[in-house]
């Protein structure tokens, strides 16, 4: 018998029929003797509908009232799912975030969890009940309803699993696991049986959208085994864990992530003086623009070129800020490119395999794909390339690192 926390996203509970299917799945687990806590999102499309209603009244809705409004989406789902479970003879009890006492800070729209009171849940579980909790929400110390921001239901699921010391947190989505890369780009992409938290964090931060970064960070911090599964098909999914496989068996690269939402800016011939990086990036930060990759060239005759990347949505704003910086610093000019993409190889096996970067660069060169910027960490190598070569680059690297073949810690479906 295991204690499982199962989280179902919006598409998994998008219709009454889908909610009934979730109830059937919970019934199967319960009949096997497992204790179940279910965390659900709002039905797909419901949050967007509520946001539109709010904006019909207030163009910039009041943050506190917005949280009150948005939290109702999950409240609908927990009630309907509990009814579906009761119809199947299971004793179920629904809880909103505040009822289960998920206490957060007071940052409306992006609150962070401070504590969870598990007493009521444990009492229900001991009595054989299925506990159904609204994801994405909690309440601050003054009782104000708060929401946890993007990916909040995943975070709720992981946080409950950590608090309850669950055997596993299962994230049910519309995909059946984590793949070596996006199957829509590479037909031969494989589902991974297992991946480490480190690798999943890198994949998520570099463009993989299977899980939100925040929930993976939370799971890694509290050592909560995470499993990504499909709510539409049966299967083992992908287990995200702290355990690495044997170094001899570990493939050098576990997956390839990519991000189309990149833009590049360069300030040319800026005086190469102490503090110049802060002089350039300080105003960018003050404009609330996040910077990703940074490269400063070798000084030539007292000047240097300074290049960095930002999210494409921030390109115009960042370009304007940088133009002002260039005038202040006496730089020659600002140039930019909003048609670039980032491609990354990720794998804890890089620690024990030499020549990974050179294999990547050789593969891209074989297809005449020019690398504009390079960034590395212990378990990843990222490059910036022209956007038009993105899919060719991903397919080329997937083949170069033999990710379509069974190898080491992963196996074919």
Residue 73 contacts residue 83 (beta carbons within 8 Å) = no
- Tokens representing 392? 């060719």
Rounded CA separation 93/172 (Å): 20
Residue with tokens 């989280």: 7
Reported in sequence order, the residue ranges of 44-190 that DSSP labels E, i.e. its strands, are 92-95, 102-104, 113-116, 130-134, 137-139, 145-147, 168-173
Question: Do the annotations mark residue 47 as ligand-binding?
Answer: yes
Read off the DSSP letter of residue 247: T
Q: What is the sign of the dihedral through the CA atoms of 321, 325, 328 and 330?
A: negative
User: β-pairing, 373-377 with 380-386?
Assistant: antiparallel
The 373-377 sheet, strands edge to edge: 291-296, 303-311, 255-271, 333-346, 380-386, 373-377
Query: In the block, which residue shows the tokens 């909610």?
Result: 19
Q: In whole angstroms, what is the distance from residue 318 CA to residue 280 CA?
A: 11
Residue 9 labeled ligand binder: yes
Conformation bin of residue 211: beta by default, left when phi > 0, alpha when psi is -120 to 50: beta
Determine the Cα–Cα distance for residues 26 and 37; give it in Å rounded to an integer. Answer: 9
**45 marked ligand binding residue:** no
d(CA 76, CA 78): 6
State how far the Cα of 103 lies from the Cα of 96, in Å rounded to an integer.
12
Question: Is 179 annotated as a binding-site member?
Answer: yes
Q: How many CB atoms lie within 10 A of CB 287?
A: 13
- Please report how many Cα atoms fall inside a 13 Å half-sphere around the Cα of residue 3, on the Cβ side: 18
314 known member of a binding site: no
User: 30 labelled as ligand-binding?
Assistant: no
d(CA 385, CA 392): 11
Backbone angles phi, psi at 107, to 5 degrees: -80, 90
Instruction: Please indicate if the annotation marks 103 as binding a ligand.
Output: no
**CA 1 to centroid of chain Cα atoms:** 30
Q: Contact at 8 Å (CB) between 394 and 256?
A: yes
Q: Is 242 annotated as a binding residue?
A: no
> Phi, psi (5° rounding) for residue 347?
180, 130
Binding residues for ATP: 7-10, 173-174, 179, 184, 209-210
Numbered residues of the known binding site for substrate:
47, 74
Could you list the residues known to form a binding site, using ranges. 7-10, 47, 74, 173-174, 179, 184, 209-210
């Amino acid at each position: 018998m295991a204690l499982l926390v199962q989280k179902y996203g919006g598409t998994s509970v998008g219709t009454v029929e889908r909610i009934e299917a979730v109830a059937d799945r919970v019934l199967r687990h319960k009949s096997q003797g497992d204790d179940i806590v279910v965390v659900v999102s709002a039905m797909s499309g419901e949050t967007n509908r509520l946001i539109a209603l709010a904006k019909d009244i207030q163009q910039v809705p009041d943050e506190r009232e917005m949280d009150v409004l948005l939290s109702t989406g999950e409240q609908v789902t927990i009630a309907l799912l509990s009814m579906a479970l009761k119809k199947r003879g299971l004793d179920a009890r629904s809880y909103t975030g505040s009822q289960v006492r998920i206490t957060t800070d007071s940052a409306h729209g992006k609150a962070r969890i401070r504590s969870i009171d598990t007493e009521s849940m444990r009492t229900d579980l001991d009595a054989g009940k299925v506990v159904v909790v609204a994801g994405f929400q909690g309440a601050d110390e003054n009782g104000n309803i708060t929401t946890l921001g993007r990916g909040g239901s995943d975070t709720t699921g992981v946080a409950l699993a950590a608090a309850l010391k669950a055997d596993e947190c299962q994230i049910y989505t519309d995909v059946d696991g984590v793949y070596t890369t996006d199957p829509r780009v590479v037909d031969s992409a494989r589902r991974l049986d297992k991946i480490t938290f480190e690798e999943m964090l890198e994949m998520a931060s570099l463009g993989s959208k299977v899980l939100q970064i925040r929930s993976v960070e939370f799971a890694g911090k509290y050592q909560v085994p995470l499993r990504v599964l499909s709510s539409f098909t049966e299967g083992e999914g992908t287990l995200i864990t702290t355990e690495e496989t044997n170094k001899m068996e570990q493939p050098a690269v576990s997956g390839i992530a990519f991000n189309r939402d990149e833009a590049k800016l360069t300030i040319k011939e800026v005086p190469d003086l102490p503090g110049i990086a802060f002089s350039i990036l300080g105003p960018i930060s003050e404009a609330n623009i996040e910077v990703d990759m940074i490269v400063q060239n070798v000084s030539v005759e007292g000047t240097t070129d300074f290049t960095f990347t930002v999210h494409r949505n921030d390109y115009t704003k960042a370009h304007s800020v940088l133009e002002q910086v260039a005038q202040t610093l006496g730089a020659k000019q600002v140039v930019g490119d909003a048609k670039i993409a980032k491609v990354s190889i990720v794998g804890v096996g890089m620690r024990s395999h030499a020549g990974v970067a050179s294999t990547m660069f050789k593969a891209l060169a074989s297809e005449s794909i020019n690398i504009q910027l390079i960034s590395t960490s212990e378990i990843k190598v990222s490059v910036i390339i022209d956007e038009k070569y993105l899919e060719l680059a991903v397919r080329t690297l997937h083949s170069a690192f033999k990710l379509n073949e069974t190898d080491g810690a992963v196996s074919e479906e």
